[in-house]
Structure 1
Amino acid sequence: MSHFVALSLGANLNNPLYQLISAIGEIKAHPEISSVSVSSFYRTKPIGPAQPDFLNIAITLQTTLSPLDLLTAMQAIEESHLRTRTLRWGPRTLDIDLLLYEDVTIDTKRLTLPHPRMQERAFVIVPLLEIAPTLTMPDSTSLQSLLSPLSDQLTDIHLWEIPSMHQLVIASHNAGKVAEFKTLLAPLGIEVLSLSDLNINSEAEETGLTFVENALLKARHIAEITQLPTLADDSGLVVDALGGAPGIYSARYSPEKTDAANNALLLKNLAETGDTERRAHFKCVLVLLQPANDPVPIISEGEVYGTILDAPSGENGFGYDPLFFFPPLNKSFAEVTPDEKNRNSHRGKALMDLIAKLNQRFG
């Protein structure tokens, strides 16, 4: 049986934006958690000793876990983010509080439900109201009514957003890439626009000799057309035995320039080398421009290592995913779930690097 749960997450150390978005991905990936909704990000003043401001969010979800098992799962995520508990109300890389679990009330040494201090904290109530405006407490008190006694705290809570980035154009006609970016960027509350959404058929000529050069060319070309913040990626498969090929030519490796033809040519060329290790890695470079003439574009990179299979395996993904075997999951990238891929892929890693750099620039 599935149960409604409300969580509060906060972070103020080691790139808080990165910590929160990474935690969101880990929560969504749990096999006994579903229907995850995430609030906007809020910058809030800390409680306790002098320390940096926090970024806070609220999450609602459905789970088949018991309250204590859910608490254990959330504490494991905290620990994976190197959370320490040396100072009460001190700074932390990640804090996950279990606020509500249906109408259950618990009062034990390990867990109290509802959370004993949620009614005292506007930085908990405000994000939760955004995604659950009709929510009530177990005693039938409305969540909205809890804000009135906390009005003096509201001046310390501010919606966090990346300046001038309410919309972001993905400079790609690849539907698979655009879908991945929409999923990965959803927690930031940014409206992601594809070239199809804007009826743009134009493409930059990829004359660069590196992933970075081509990503810059694509980003500038589309940003000049749209005059909107633009994110471009150049990514590809790098196979050791082929001297790094297909590399920057991954999407146009074969004369037909289709996934099936590219995969077939890769297998043919790799077989001719006699290589048995078949080592390879995916590489992704992201370039973010705000605006088109941005003198300091944000550039991030991500890589993921594996081997090339003898034949395609799996129905998910796109490009070379059916041939790329990822040892940590013991599957090809076409066999993993979208959540698994987003948490482990070169594109997901590059985006996490980008988010960390956004936090440094705008945090």
Structure 2
Amino acid sequence: MESIFLALGSNLGEREETLRQARTLLQRAEGVNILAWSALYDTEPVGGPEGQGPYLNAVLVGTTELSPTDLLRLCHAIERDCGRAPGEHWGPRALDIDILCYGDQVLETAELVLPHPRLHERRFVLVPLCDLAPDLVHPVLKKSMRRLLADLDASPRVAAYLENW
């Protein structure tokens, strides 16, 4: 079993319900055991087209027996099941699931990069990740998530939205 950290985000439709549905589907997936999740955060969109609505973001922690590639396929299937349709890169979406960390594994393929290549640049990921594992050490940068968050500017906005969801 490998420990996993997954980032969830949504800025279309019933955002909170979509994130709940994604969490439930991950909890029910064979080979995945979701152990805990962060609070939900309301965040400004980063990158992508102008005029997007705000996101809700969270991070889940768990374990898996799936390979990184099989976990990625599962995440993509759940995104589709929750209404994600092909669209503009970094554009609005019903659901986005990113694999942030898969144990201490460092991997770079055409399909998947581990740890997530922009993890250390994103407040909307690091804030909820620090709810769960502030002392987790980035396997490449060798800094804790708490340190990576402290190194970032205070913008864009990441505001507490809902503690228990």
The two structures have a TM-score, normalised by structure 1, of 0.43
| 149, 154, 167: which one aligns with 2:151 | 149
**Aligned counterparts, 1:83-232, within 5 A:** 83-139=84-140, 140-153=142-155, 156-161=157-162, 189=164
The verdict on how the C-alpha distance between 1:11 and 1:152 changes in structure 2, with shifts beyond 3 A counting, is same
Q: What secondary structure, in the 3-state scheme, does the structure 1 residue paired with 2:144 have?
A: coil
The verdict on how the C-alpha distance between 1:35 and 1:25 changes in structure 2, with shifts beyond 3 A counting, is closer
Contact 2:101/2:114 (<8 A) preserved: yes
Task: Output the CA distance in 2 between the equivalents of 1:17 and 1:111.
Answer: 27
> What is the identity percentage for the equivalent residue pairs of Structure 1 and Structure 2?
37
- Look up the match of 1:57: 58
The verdict on how the C-alpha distance between 1:19 and 1:35 changes in structure 2, with shifts beyond 3 A counting, is closer
TM-aligned CA deviation for residue 108 of structure 1? 1.1
Q: What secondary structure, in the 3-state scheme, does the structure 1 residue paired with 2:129 have?
A: helix
**Runs of 4+ deviating beyond 2 Å:** none
Task: Output the CA distance in 1 between the equivalents of 2:135 and 2:147.
Answer: 11
TM-aligned CA deviation for residue 141 of structure 1? 1.5
TM-aligned CA deviation for residue 117 of structure 1? 0.8
TM-aligned CA deviation for residue 149 of structure 1? 2.8
Residue 18 of structure 2 aligns to which amino acid in structure 1? Q
Contact 2:37/2:58 (<8 A) preserved: yes
**Aligned counterparts, 1:164-313, within 5 A:** 189=164
Once the two structures are superposed, residues 171-206 of structure 1 have per-residue CA deviations (whole angstroms, 9 ceiling, x without a partner) of xxxxxxxxxxxxxxxxx517xxxxxxxxxxxxxxxx
Structure 1 or 2, whichever has the larger Rg, is: 1
Task: Output the CA distance in 2 between the equivalents of 1:85 and 1:138.
Answer: 31
Task: Output the CA distance in 1 between the equivalents of 2:28 and 2:34.
Answer: 11
Q: What secondary structure, in the 3-state scheme, does the structure 1 residue paired with 2:153 have?
A: helix
Residue 33 of structure 1 aligns to which amino acid in structure 2? V
Task: Output the CA distance in 2 between the equivalents of 1:42 and 1:118.
Answer: 16
- Look up the match of 1:212: none
- Look up the match of 1:252: none
Q: What secondary structure, in the 3-state scheme, does the structure 1 residue paired with 2:42 have?
A: strand
Residue 40 of structure 2 aligns to which amino acid in structure 1? F
Give the structure with the larger helix fraction: 1
Contact 2:40/2:57 (<8 A) preserved: yes
TM-aligned CA deviation for residue 31 of structure 1? 2.0
- Look up the match of 1:22: 21
Task: Output the CA distance in 2 between the equivalents of 1:45 and 1:136.
Answer: 26
Q: What secondary structure, in the 3-state scheme, does the structure 1 residue paired with 2:90 have?
A: coil
Runs of 5+ unmatched residues, structure 1: 162-187, 191-363
TM-aligned CA deviation for residue 147 of structure 1? 1.2
Task: Output the CA distance in 1 between the equivalents of 2:73 and 2:24.
Answer: 17
Higher-RCO chain (CA-CA 8 Å, sequence separation at least 6): 2
Cα RMSD, aligned residues only = 1.3
The alignment status of 1:70 with 2:45, answered yes or no, reads no
Runs of 5+ unmatched residues, structure 2: none
The two structures have a TM-score, normalised by structure 2, of 0.93
Residue 144 of structure 1 aligns to which amino acid in structure 2? R
Q: What secondary structure, in the 3-state scheme, does the structure 1 residue paired with 2:155 have?
A: helix
TM-aligned CA deviation for residue 35 of structure 1? 4.2
Q: What secondary structure, in the 3-state scheme, does the structure 1 residue paired with 2:139 have?
A: coil
Task: Output the CA distance in 2 between the equivalents of 1:7 and 1:35.
Answer: 10
